[in-house]
A and B are shown apart, each in its own frame.
Chain A
Amino acid sequence: MRRRTFLGAAAVGIAGAVVPALGAEPASGKPFRIYRVTYRGRTEVEDGFDDYLAANGVPVEFIERDANRGAVPMADFVAEIRELKPDLVYTWGTPVTLGIAGRYDAKDKQDFITDIPIVFALVASPVAAGLVADREHPDRNLTGAVHVVPTETQLRAMQSYRPIGRLGVLYTASEQNSVSIIEELRRLQGTMGFGLVERQFRVDAEGRPSPDGIEELVGEIAAEGANWLYLLPDTFLGTQYDRVTPAALAVKLPTFGAAELAIRQGGALVALISRYYSVGQLAASKAVKILRNEVPVGQIPIETLKRFSLIINMPVAKQLELYPPIDMLNYAEVLTG
Chain B
Amino acid sequence: MSGLRIQFSVAIIAVLMAALVFLSFQTARRAETILQPQIEKKADVVARSTVALVERALELGIPLDRLEGAAAHFESILAGNPDLSFIELRDASGRVLYGAHSKAGGEKPGDRANELAMPLGKVGSAPVVVAVGMDPAYARQVVSTLWLDLLIIMFVTALVALELIYVGFGAGLYGAIEGVESRLRTIRKGDLRLHPPVEADSEFGRFARALDERLARLHAAYEGLRKQVGERSDAVSQRALDMLRERFGLGEGVVATPVQVIAMRAPLFVFMLAEELTRPFLPVYIRSLATPIPGLSQSFVISLPMIAFLTVVALAQPFLGSVTERMGRRSSLMSGAVLGLVGYVASAFVGDLVELTVARMVSAVGFALVFASAQGHVIDSTDIRHRSSGMAMFIGAILVAGLCGPPIGGILADRIGIPGTFIVAGLLSACSFVLAYLCMPTHTARRAHGPAIRWRDFGPILSSPPLAALFFLCAMPAKIILVAFCFFLVPLQMEAMGATQSMTGRMLMIYPIAMVLLVPFFAALADRRNKRAHFVAVGGLLAGLSAFAVLVDAGSFLPIVLMLLGLGIGQAMSIAPLSGLVGELGRALSPSVNENSVYGIFRLVERTGNALGPLVAGTLLGVYGFSTTVAIIGGLTAVCAVLFLAVIGLLRPAKFQLHATGS
Do A and B pair up? The answer is yes
| Nearest B-chain residue to A315, judged by Cβ | B61
A321 touches B53 (CB 8 A): no
Among A321, A327, A336, contact of B60 (Cβ-Cβ < 8 Å): A336
Alpha-carbon distance A110/B68, docked complex (angstroms): 59
Among B53, B62, B66, B80, contact of A327 (Cβ-Cβ < 8 Å): B53
A326 touches B53 (CB 8 A): yes
Distance in Å: Cβ of B508 to nearest Cβ of chain A: 32
Q: Given A324-B68, A326-B54, A329-B53, check contact A1 B61 (CB 8 Å).
A: no
B68 touches A325 (CB 8 A): yes
Alpha-carbon distance A133/B600, docked complex (angstroms): 62
Among A314, A323, A328, contact of B66 (Cβ-Cβ < 8 Å): A323
A326 touches B67 (CB 8 A): yes
Is A107 interfacial (CB 8 A cutoff)? no
Alpha-carbon distance A325/B67, docked complex (angstroms): 7
Is B217 interfacial (CB 8 A cutoff)? no
A329 touches B68 (CB 8 A): no
Distance in Å: Cβ of B67 to nearest Cβ of chain A: 5
Alpha-carbon distance A317/B73, docked complex (angstroms): 20
A326 touches B61 (CB 8 A): no
Query: Which residues of A sit under 8 angstroms from B72, Cβ to Cβ?
Result: 325, 327
Q: List A307-326 residues whose CB lies under 8 Å from chain B.
A: 314, 317-318, 321, 323-326
B61 touches A318 (CB 8 A): yes
A323 touches B68 (CB 8 A): yes
Query: Which residues of B sit under 8 angstroms from A327, Cβ to Cβ?
Result: 53, 69, 72-73, 76
| Nearest B-chain residue to A327, judged by Cβ | B73
Is B605 interfacial (CB 8 A cutoff)? no
Is B391 interfacial (CB 8 A cutoff)? no
Query: Which residues of A sit under 8 angstroms from B60, Cβ to Cβ?
Result: 314, 329, 334, 336
Query: Which residues of B sit under 8 angstroms from A334, Cβ to Cβ?
Result: 60
Distance in Å: Cβ of B15 to nearest Cβ of chain A: 51
Alpha-carbon distance A255/B388, docked complex (angstroms): 82
Query: Which residues of B sit under 8 angstroms from A329, Cβ to Cβ?
Result: 53, 56-57, 60
Is B70 interfacial (CB 8 A cutoff)? yes
Q: List B43-99 residues whose CB lies under 8 Å from chain A.
A: 53-54, 56-57, 60-63, 66-70, 72-73, 76, 80
Distance in Å: Cβ of A277 to nearest Cβ of chain B: 24
Report whether over half of chain B's contact residues are helix, strand or loop; otherwise say mixed. Answer: helix
Is A330 interfacial (CB 8 A cutoff)? yes
| Nearest A-chain residue to B69, judged by Cβ | A325
B70 touches A326 (CB 8 A): yes
A330 touches B53 (CB 8 A): yes
Query: Which residues of B sit under 8 angstroms from A324, Cβ to Cβ?
Result: 62, 68
Alpha-carbon distance A321/B62, docked complex (angstroms): 9
Query: Which residues of B sit under 8 angstroms from A317, Cβ to Cβ?
Result: 62
A326 touches B76 (CB 8 A): no
Alpha-carbon distance A317/B60, docked complex (angstroms): 10
Query: Which residues of A sit under 8 angstroms from B73, Cβ to Cβ?
Result: 325-327
Query: Which residues of A sit under 8 angstroms from B63, Cβ to Cβ?
Result: 323
Alpha-carbon distance A336/B60, docked complex (angstroms): 7
Alpha-carbon distance A208/B450, docked complex (angstroms): 95
Alpha-carbon distance A330/B69, docked complex (angstroms): 13
Alpha-carbon distance A158/B60, docked complex (angstroms): 20
| Nearest B-chain residue to A335, judged by Cβ | B60
Alpha-carbon distance A101/B54, docked complex (angstroms): 52
Q: Given A327-B53, A327-B73, A327-B76, check contact A314 B68 (CB 8 Å).
A: no
Alpha-carbon distance A155/B241, docked complex (angstroms): 102
| Nearest A-chain residue to B54, judged by Cβ | A326
Alpha-carbon distance A251/B80, docked complex (angstroms): 40
Query: Which residues of A sit under 8 angstroms from B80, Cβ to Cβ?
Result: 1
Alpha-carbon distance A228/B54, docked complex (angstroms): 26
Encode contact with B along A231-245: 1 for CB under 8 Å, 0 otherwise: 000000000000000
Alpha-carbon distance A101/B72, docked complex (angstroms): 50
| Nearest A-chain residue to B73, judged by Cβ | A327
Encode contact with A along B355-389: 1 for CB under 8 Å, 0 otherwise: 00000000000000000000000000000000000
Alpha-carbon distance A324/B465, docked complex (angstroms): 74
Alpha-carbon distance A326/B54, docked complex (angstroms): 8
Distance in Å: Cβ of A33 to nearest Cβ of chain B: 40
Query: Which residues of A sit under 8 angstroms from B70, Cβ to Cβ?
Result: 326
Of the listed residues B54, B69, B70, B80, the one surrounded by the most CB atoms of chain A closer than 10 A to its CB is B69
| Nearest B-chain residue to A328, judged by Cβ | B69
Q: List A60-102 residues whose CB lies under 8 Å from chain B.
A: none
Encode contact with A along B492-515: 1 for CB under 8 Å, 0 otherwise: 000000000000000000000000
Distance in Å: Cβ of A163 to nearest Cβ of chain B: 12
Alpha-carbon distance A323/B60, docked complex (angstroms): 10
| Nearest B-chain residue to A330, judged by Cβ | B53
A323 touches B62 (CB 8 A): yes
B residues within 8 Å of A by Cβ?
53-54, 56-57, 60-63, 66-70, 72-73, 76, 80
11 examples of A-B residue contacts, CB within 8 angstroms: A1-B76, A323-B66, A323-B67, A325-B68, A325-B69, A326-B62, A326-B68, A327-B53, A328-B69, A329-B60, A334-B60
Top 7 A-B residue pairs of the complex, sorted by shortest distance between their CB atoms? A325-B69, A327-B73, A325-B68, A323-B62, A323-B66, A326-B57, A323-B68
**Given A326-B73, A327-B73, A334-B60; 8 other pairs, CB 8 A cutoff:** A317-B62, A323-B62, A323-B63, A325-B73, A326-B57, A329-B56, A329-B60, A336-B60
